[in-house]
Structure 1
Amino acid sequence: MTTVDTLLSKYDHGLGFSAYTYNQNLSWKGSLDDISFEQIAIKDKLLTLDKPCYIVKVAGKIGVTNEGYLYPTENGTTAQVELLTFVPPIRIQQLGDPNFLSFHGVKYAYVTGAMAGGIASEEMVIALGKEKILSSFGAGGLTPERLEAAINRIQSALPHGPYAFNLIHSPNDMAIERRAVDLYLKYQVTTVEASAFL
């Protein structure tokens, strides 16, 4: 079991803290064993976004934990562990613009970009679409026949999306570019990722 004296003798990482205290009427409660004082462990705790993160001071040493809980304290009460600040958990689904999520019908505000020549393939777009992640098919450099086959396959697997198709600027072959636009209009592709337009 970790004690305050153990912390005083073991951890001297030179961390200081100067910030506005989040709420002086809250204290942290939990096991001292759950508090990290070493740089790598602190980094791991800071990167654990799906749990709360508590920055605390114990015996003059600053530590970080994702465990424990907050409780209200009376003014003037001194806790063994001083709460410096905390951040509530955040799920990855909370990042990004909610309008993007609802417009595209996705769980995450991320898009996987197209890689030309079908490298961003039908399989990739379909697999990510089934997980409600927007992915763009890499249509650049493909023949109209190949692109049409990809549209049919993706729309068959994801009739309600989400999916996107790439439209790459082709100044040396405007007919290919125009044919891609015609196919997107014909099949009512509503999300198009434009690239290489200068």
Structure 2
Amino acid sequence: MTSDDVATWVAERWPVDPANVAVERLTGGMINDVFRVDLGDTRVIVKHARPYVVTVPDVALSTRRLAIEARCLRELGPDGCLVDVCDAGVGVPRHIDFDAAASVLVMEDCGVIPDLSDRMTSAAPLDAGLGAALGAFTARLHAISAGCPDLLDELENRDVQETRARTQYGQVGAWVQALGRSDQAEVAHRAVELGQRLLAPG
């Protein structure tokens, strides 16, 4: 999806003049096309899923991943069963629209905020409070979602799980070997084992 495609889609979906729609492609992600769209009176984020990883086209990936993300945003929103997962410190963008046929998700634009990956690789000390807040968010997500059994099947994404097991956990051995570590075989075995365990739903 190009910036022009986004402007056209927005104009067909909402009552706006495409000439007044400004589209900026965002970088930093790996899997989807992501754009910041200025509609004049507001800005939104538009995400498009292709049937593969956008930065690695040889890796096929079902576009159903975006439907799952849309459902998660709705459930974490004010009317969802996971609303109590979020707090003042950690939240998610508000779900605005989802076009399943076009594989396009629209969400709230949270503005220009620090990128977590940049903070993780920065030489500056990482605020311990950030890790604690993310850990607490994750704990609440697991605890509260356990009370929503209908989500278990609906949100299972075997395609993404298998791709992750193959391209991430399955590659750990090669990465460790490149570092010259003597325990490469053991680390690789543990990584593959973890990847297999994570294939289970839940």
Under TM normalisation by the shorter chain, which class is it? Answer: under 0.3
Larger Rg: 1
TM-score by length of 1: 0.24
| Higher helix proportion | 2
TM-score by length of 2: 0.24
